[in-house]
Amino acid sequence: MTGHAFTSVFGPQIEQYLAFKEKLGFHGLSRIWYLTKFDAYCDAHDRQVFDRATVEGWVIAQSAHSGRYRSWMSYIRDFGRWLVVHDDPAAYVLSDQWIAGVVPSHPYLLTTAEIDAFFTAAAQLHAQSPWRWQAVAFFTLMHCCGIRTGEARALLTEQVDLRRGNLDIVWSKANRSRRLPLTEPILAVLAACDQESHLRFPQRRTFFVSAAGNPVTAATVGTIFHRIWDQARLPRPVGGTQPRPYDFRHHFAYANLERWMAQGKDVTALLPYLSRYMGHAGLESTYYYVHTSPDFLNAYAHLTANSAAVLPEAGF
């Protein structure tokens, strides 16, 4: 049992479902958080049956104050499927019609000048915490390897192999793992960071740490990013999209696309490799970067006009 304080009639079943998912390797907190919301809704509205009225009633209520992301619908849908198989054949499974067609927001398109100024400031960051020496390394991984913020935060020391020159992203989004090669300049940055951190936190488990030697939080990453941005005296847009750490990952993607385009390569054939490298579930996520790269869009039709290229098997 997972030991969460569920209060509705569905509490024991939710506990069993979460234990089942954990045995399969799914340990994400988002699933627990939203099922806790569902449990509270059922308790408050005295819902006793896992039927359409109960499930869709909660979905409607949750949608009224949720943000852009609606992936939480998959959690209640999956729980319904689990109930049908393991406990209640009459349980309602949320219809696929409830899949929200949410359009992702556009990234802030970092310029070369902004990136240069950012890393110059990061190397001279005014901080009393480990960010004084690890800021450059943290954001270098996002910029040069395109990893997610959460992946950088979760990196264990043994997953950064400075001798062999690779980085292991283990059990990341949707439980996908991948190994990324590192170039010599990146290895030098990581080695300097590791040496300083090891002296001060010899027992640390994660590669990047807080002042207490614990894993860094998402909120802290955002705070440090904006502190560096301001220290670099970079202007902030008045309205519209604001810069954020994740934009380094965006920049990695469309910089590769535009480089391939400039080299005259078959971008369509290379997309599966970029998708695999970035840890995407499929090409749909990678095409998002195609659509948000202004320089690439203008030339993409020309690149593919005379070619009926078929996507090759990626071979991973």
Which stretches of the chain score pLDDT less than 70? 1-3, 66-70, 99-105, 172, 174-175, 290-316
Per the rule left: phi > 0, alpha: psi between -120 and 50, beta: everything else, 220 is alpha
Count of Cβ atoms closer than 10 Å to residue 136 Cβ: 23
Residues 189 and 251 in one domain: no
Q: How far apart are alpha carbons 281 and 278 in whole angstroms?
A: 9
Strands 178-181 vs 160-161: parallel, antiparallel or unpaired: unpaired
Residue 313 lies in a domain: no
Residue type at position 119: F
Q: Are residues 203 and 163 in the same domain?
A: yes
The answer to whether residues 216 and 121 belong to one domain is yes
Q: Are residues 254 and 174 in the same domain?
A: no
Residues 227, 147 share a domain? yes
In a domain, 4, yes or no: no
Instruction: Verify that 90 and 24 share a domain, yes or no.
Output: yes
d(CA 5, CA 12): 10
Give the pLDDT confidence of 248-258 residue by residue, as tens digits.
998 998 888 88
Domain membership of residue 240 (yes or no) is: no
Indicate whether 69 belongs to any domain.
Answer: yes
Where a domain ends, among 98, 124, 146? Answer: 98
* Alpha-carbon distances, residue 86 vs 3, 6, 15, 38, 67 (angstroms): 20, 19, 13, 19, 32
- pLDDT reported for residue 116: 96
Q: Which two tokens stand for residue 26?
A: 């799914």
Nearest by Cα to 193 from 123, 147, 133, 239: 133
Query: What is d(CA 160, CA 166) in angstroms, rounded to the nearest whole number?
Result: 7
Q: Last residue of a domain, which of 73, 98, 123?
A: 98
In this structure, is residue 91 part of a structural domain? yes
Count the residues in the chain: 316
User: Quick one: 84 and 141 in the same domain?
Assistant: no
Two tokens, residue 50: 């896992």
Q: Could you give the CA distance from residue 276 to residue 58 in angstroms, rounded to a whole number?
A: 36
Same domain, 56 and 83: yes
Q: Which of 231, 266, 297 is the last residue of a domain?
A: 231
Cβ-Cβ contacts under 8 Å for 251 (sequence gap 6 or more): 107, 109, 110, 115, 143
Q: What is the CATH number of the domain that holds 205?
A: 1.10.443.10
Q: In terms of C-beta density within 10 A (0-12 exposed, 13-18 middle, 19 or more buried), how is residue 11 classed?
A: middle
Whether residue 242 is contained in a domain is answered as: no
Residues 124 and 195 in one domain: yes
Residues 259 and 225 in one domain: no
Looking at the domain assignment, is residue 6 inside a domain? no
Q: pLDDT at position 68, please?
A: 56
> Which residue range is the domain that position 74 belongs to?
11-98
Residue 107 lies in a domain: no
* Listed residue (82, 60, 71) closest to 14, CA to CA: 82
Instruction: Judge if 68 and 122 occupy the same domain.
Output: no
The DSSP output letter for 239 is S
Q: Which residues contact 37 (CB under 8 A, 6 or more apart)?
A: 58, 62
In Å, how far are 134, 152, 160 from 221, measured between CA atoms?
Answer: 11, 10, 19
Alpha-carbon distances of 7 from 13, 14, 72, rounded to whole Å:
11, 10, 20
Provide the pLDDT for residue 296.
Answer: 53
Residues 127 and 203 grouped into a single domain: yes
How many folded domains does the chain comprise?
3
